[in-house]
Amino acid sequence: MADSLTHSSDLSFTALPADAGQRLDAFLAGRAGALSRSRLKALILEGRVSRNGAPTQEPAESVVAGAVYEIELPPPVPALPQGQEIGLDVLYEDEALIVINKPAGMVVHPAPGNPDGTLVNALISHCGASLTGIGGETRPGIVHRLDKDTSGVMVAAKTELALTRLSSLFAGRAGLERAYRALCWGLPNPLAGDVEGDIGRDPRERKRMAVVARNGKYALTHYKVLQGFGLGAAMVSCRLATGRTHQIRVHMAHIGHPLVGDPVYLRRKPGAAKFVPEPARGLLLDFPRQALHAETLGFKHPMTGAMLRFDAPPPPDFMGLLDALLACA
């Protein structure tokens, strides 16, 4: 355990007999709560770790019982993105993470063409001093992303250790639940099933993803029709067994049921539209984004191990499509 905080930016630990012989970076990672082993290794190499007052710069150095190890923690520097006061729908927050319901139209991370007004800008402002520094910067740890025009539940880490553990969880997927609500053209047959197909860059158009025969990554989506509207459209639940770029959008288009409003994977007026009565048909054809919502996110808390599960209903524009279809039924 930590023996003392010498000041707000330093940590001090005394090695116990049971600690003797451990690698220094591993020993410190076991004691320094919110700091990952990779971050501690970097601090050691920077000369910010001392043993009995003398600097040590060897991450693999063996720990000496009774020695006092001190870590000088530099204050987090501001991240390149700056905080902006943007309202967030916060579903849960603690010292390690924050869960939000992202609105459609919000980009997750600053990028060319979207330098600000992003979720990261909003989180930097909202979380403030509770962001303890990830990689030495005051910024949130983005574990997974939703497309700009996909709404729904997302989690972001507030500490480096939480980011490391959540990233490992999302990569391994054990104990992870991700369910989406989608409105697609046509009625899938069968009404429930799996879409399995490697996803990679479309060889004919590099800005798109596609189910490919070579150089793709394995992808599996479980789908279930929640409500059909004749042969014209269907409300579908999609659960991800893998997490590939545009996975649901690509897989649903691959089986002939692209998402309503998808600007990338719906390239022409769908044949199923003729089975949708007006005025619902016009609303679906004119919908300005993919009708996709991240409805459920479940995962183990990176620090406590407790199972967490969050649900958020689709936004009003999405539900408006459903209401229009029900009115025509």
Catalytic residues: 147
Q: Could you tell me if 69 and 51 are in contact, meaning their C-beta atoms sit under 8 angstroms apart? A: yes
Asked, as a colleague might, if the bond just before 190 is cis with ω within 30 of 0, I would say: yes
How far apart (Å, rounded) are the C-alpha atoms in residues 23 and 182?
Answer: 49
For strands 151-157 and 292-300, give the pairing: parallel
Q: What is the largest CA-CA distance in the chain?
A: 79
How far apart (Å, rounded) are the C-alpha atoms in residues 230 and 310?
Answer: 31
The letter for the amino acid at 316 is: P
For strands 199-202 and 205-211, give the pairing: antiparallel
E-state strands within the chain: 4-7, 10-14, 49-51, 54-55, 68-72, 77-78, 90-93, 97-102, 137-138, 141-142, 151-157, 177-185, 192-196, 199-202, 205-211, 220-229, 233-240, 292-300, 307-311
| Token pair 């003729």: residue | 274
How far apart (Å, rounded) are the C-alpha atoms in residues 70 and 53?
Answer: 8
